[in-house]
Structure 1
Amino acid sequence: MAKDFQDIQQLDSEDNDHPLGGGEGPGPRGHNPRRGDRFCVGTPTQSPLPLQRFCSTLRLSLLVLGFNVLLLAAICVIGSQRAQLQEELRILKENFSHFSNGVLSEIGTLFSHGRSASHQLTSLEAKLEKQQRDLKADHDALLLHLKHFPMDLRILTCQMAFFQSNGTQCCPANWLEYDGSCYWFSRSGKTWEDADRYCQLESAHLVVINSREEQEESRGGGLGEPWEVHGEAATDFKRWDIIGARSQKFIVQHTNPFNAWIGLTDSEGTWKWVDGTDYQQNYKNWAATQPDDWQGHEVGGGEDCAVVQANGRWNDHFCKQVQRWVCEMRLNITA
């Protein structure tokens, strides 16, 4: 203990040998201000080195403590923000999950509705097709009735004429009777095919000319008057004249000055009459150099349909041309 006291006195004498500058000299009555304070910047004047070390350590500890506090606060803030972000992310995931489920549900509903609509459309298409088939069947039946209606009307008219004329023959209204046949002369034009179809709807056919008198009008003679024919028709001419079919003259009388389709065609490569009359063995009255199957009309194909001209001669024409026509049917006989 005596040694410690001596060390303190030695330190005190050293302090007196080194006065502090900057106005820190001995104060009044020989008192040093720094030595009068218990601490010099927090350290006692009697033991400056350990106290300075202590102050430095304290300041460093406080600085580290403050830094740790700040770091802890930052960690807390970051943790709080992270927790908040995780919560928001969870909410977003839940919302997205709900949205996805809702979208999938809507898609499923739309798909179901689309499938139902597709089934309904298929059903409607089937019903429409059935209705179209039914309408077509009704249309065909109506056409059939309309096709038979003129014949029924002619039969009825003929029956009335039969009772009125005490059992004679009759032709339909607007038809002309000549030599056992009824004839209808058009006032407009059609193609050969349409004209043939029109006659069929009237239960008739395009006129079949099998004798001179059936077509002659402007020659002015009777059966004995010469009629110019060529080729094998010359032999047939006399035979048909002898039969006495005078209706050839009648046809040209009602078609002049126009050409008119007749029921003769070679669409299959051979000339044939529409009623099956033998073409080779019957009367022919082609104009000179006809038929020539001329193809210069620039519409494709040859000339496969026959017309009777104003002079009574026949000529082959392009079947799609529009010409007048003559329908023929056998005279209805009622009994």
Structure 2
Amino acid sequence: MQTWTLWAAAFLTLHSAQAFPQTDISISPALPELPQPSLCPLFWMEFKGHCYRFFPLNKTWAEADLYCSEFSVGRKSAKLASIHSWEENVFVYDLVNSCVPGIPADVWTGLHDHRQEGQFEWTDGSSYDYSYWDGSQPDDGVHTDPEEEDCVQIWYRPTSALRSWNDNTCSRKFPFVCKIPSLTIH
């Protein structure tokens, strides 16, 4: 009888351990706060908290600036693109090339010196803290055009640095890139 009792006790111990497995539960601290995803309007591309869109429309600098202002996100209106780093410059130029691959395109930016010659400023009011002028630029058109060159474009020239900048006559017509702060989900 004692063998039967030991066998029954061992059987019940073995099966109750399988029927009710023990689980170690640990509570981990909350996840760190993740950056909020940003939202851009349809057909706009996001880069570091801003939305960008290339418009393959040939417009004067003033027409392009006005065209951009017709787009808004929240209470902010779009402006011709301001550029504040090499990475942003590459992003803008690559955005243009992704829309018109294989076709070099000069595009307007929001940089100008309308108020005072040589004192450049962005249409969105941001600081002029980065530039990537080509060769002898800005030259205000001293070699070719008697009209002042107060508006800045990213240009493509086979003989110059890719994605470099040039001051040009504002009445010339080029495609352009608009920029607007993106919305974030709260």
TM-score by length of structure 2 reads 0.67
2:145 pairs with 1:297: yes
Q: Distance in 2 between matches of 1:274 and 1:258?
A: 21
Q: For 1:254, which of 95, 102, 110 is the aligned residue?
A: 95
Q: Distance in 1 between matches of 2:124 and 2:37?
A: 26
Shift in Å at residue 330 of structure 1?
0.9
Q: Distance in 2 between matches of 1:200 and 1:186?
A: 13
Greater length-normalized contact order (CA 8 Å, ≥ 6 residues apart): 2
Q: Distance in 2 between matches of 1:319 and 1:283?
A: 21
Number of aligned residue pairs: give it: 132
Letter in 1 for 2:115: E
Change (3 A) 1:173 1:265: same
Q: For 1:288, which of 131, 135, 140 is the aligned residue?
A: 135
Q: Distance in 1 between matches of 2:173 and 2:81?
A: 17
Q: Secondary structure at the match of 2:57?
A: coil
Q: Which aligned pairs between 1:38-53 and structure 2 lie closer than 5 A?
A: none
Shift in Å at residue 251 of structure 1?
1.0
Q: Secondary structure at the match of 1:324?
A: strand
Give the match for residue 274 of structure 1. Answer: 123
Give the match for residue 207 of structure 1. Answer: 81
Q: Distance in 2 between matches of 1:188 and 1:265?
A: 20
CA displacement, residues 18-75 of structure 1 (integer Å, 9 cap, x when unaligned): xxxxxxxxxxxxxxxxxxxxxxxxxxxxxxxxxxxxxxxxxxxxxxxxxxxxxxxxxx
Which sections of structure 2, spanning at least 5 residues, go unmatched?
A: 1-35, 72-76, 98-103, 157-161
Letter in 1 for 2:176: W
Give the match for residue 314 of structure 1. Answer: 165
Q: Distance in 2 between matches of 1:276 and 1:170?
A: 22
Q: Which aligned pairs between 1:1-335 and structure 2 lie closer than 5 A?
A: 168-202=37-71, 203-215=77-89, 249-256=90-97, 257-269=104-116, 270-279=119-128, 282-295=129-142, 296-297=144-145, 301-310=147-156, 311-335=162-186
Q: Distance in 1 between matches of 2:95 and 2:46?
A: 13
TM-score by length of structure 1 reads 0.38
Q: Distance in 1 between matches of 2:137 and 2:153?
A: 11
Q: Secondary structure at the match of 1:194?
A: helix
Q: Distance in 2 between matches of 1:196 and 1:175?
A: 17
Runs ≥4 in structure 1, deviation > 4 angstroms?
Answer: none
Shift in Å at residue 201 of structure 1?
1.2
Larger Rg: 1
Shift in Å at residue 185 of structure 1?
0.3
Q: Distance in 2 between matches of 1:290 and 1:258?
A: 18
* Structure richer in strand, relative to its length: 2
Shift in Å at residue 255 of structure 1?
2.0
Letter in 2 for 1:274: T
Shift in Å at residue 207 of structure 1?
0.5
Letter in 2 for 1:190: K
Give the match for residue 87 of structure 1. Answer: none
Q: Secondary structure at the match of 2:183?
A: coil
Please give the root-mean-square deviation of Cα atoms over the aligned residues, in Å: 1.5
Letter in 1 for 2:94: Q
Q: Distance in 2 between matches of 1:177 and 1:271?
A: 26
Q: Secondary structure at the match of 2:40?
A: coil
Q: Distance in 1 between matches of 2:63 and 2:185?
A: 30
Higher mean C-alpha deviation, range 168-177 or range 289-298? 289-298
Q: Distance in 2 between matches of 1:297 and 1:305?
A: 14
Identity %: 36
Give the match for residue 135 of structure 1. Answer: none
Shift in Å at residue 176 of structure 1?
1.0
Q: Distance in 2 between matches of 1:332 and 1:194?
A: 26
* Structure richer in helix, relative to its length: 1
Which sections of structure 1, spanning at least 5 residues, go unmatched?
A: 1-166, 216-248
Shift in Å at residue 277 of structure 1?
2.0
